[in-house]
Amino acid sequence: MSEFAPLLRAIEDAEDVVQAASEAKGLLRVSAPQEFGRMLVATWAPEFLTRHPGVKLELNVTDRNVDVIREGYDLAVRMGPLRDTELISRKLADLHWILVASPAYLERRGRPETVEDLRSHSCLRYLTSGRPMAFHFRRWTERDPRRTIRYGR
């Protein structure tokens, strides 16, 4: 959970706004991506609701970018660039994805030696707004350009 520490601190900072009111009451509608909702919000929500018993939380866990205004959300957590510039936003943290494989898979299919080798491997993809995210790779030196590969269009 240490990788979530900056995110938890950002949420706690945001809670200061709620604590400024004498007693927060009412429905708080929140939308968050599935991974964020499961791992982080589930950790934060029980404590928040205990401290603010007058608040009812409605959490929509979806990878679809909801329309905050039209759908009546108070808060939306987004991953990636913010497309709607009319919204007030605050960056919580940088998110770094890693590519992993089980030892059994590597033994069965072999270890990819190049980015291009991934085209012949089975990959689980993260979907955002119904579309697979592209893989972006960067060598460990800043001089090397970023490489993008599209898998399974």
Instruction: Per residue of the chain (153 residues), give pLDDT as tens.
Output: 566 666 666 666 666 555 555 578 899 999 988 877 777 677 888 888 898 899 999 989 888 888 888 999 999 988 777 776 678 888 888 777 778 899 999 999 999 888 788 888 888 777 766 777 777 766 554 555 555 555 544
**Helix, strand, coil proportions of the chain in percent (round to 5)?**
35, 15, 50
Which residue from 93, 81, 28, 78 is spatially nearest to 58, judged by alpha carbons? 28
Are the C-beta atoms of 92 and 10 separated by less than 8 Å? yes
CB atoms within 10 A of CB 31: 22
Bridge-based pairing state of the strands 135-137 and 131-132: unpaired
In terms of Cα–Cα distance, which of 98, 80, 97 is closest to 89? 80
Q: With contact defined as beta carbons under 8 Å apart, do 58 and 28 qualify? A: yes
Which of the 8 DSSP states describes residue 73? -
Are the C-beta atoms of 24 and 56 separated by less than 8 Å?
Answer: no
Which pLDDT tens digit goes with each residue over 108-126?
Answer: 999 988 878 888 888 877 7
Prediction pTM value: 0.61
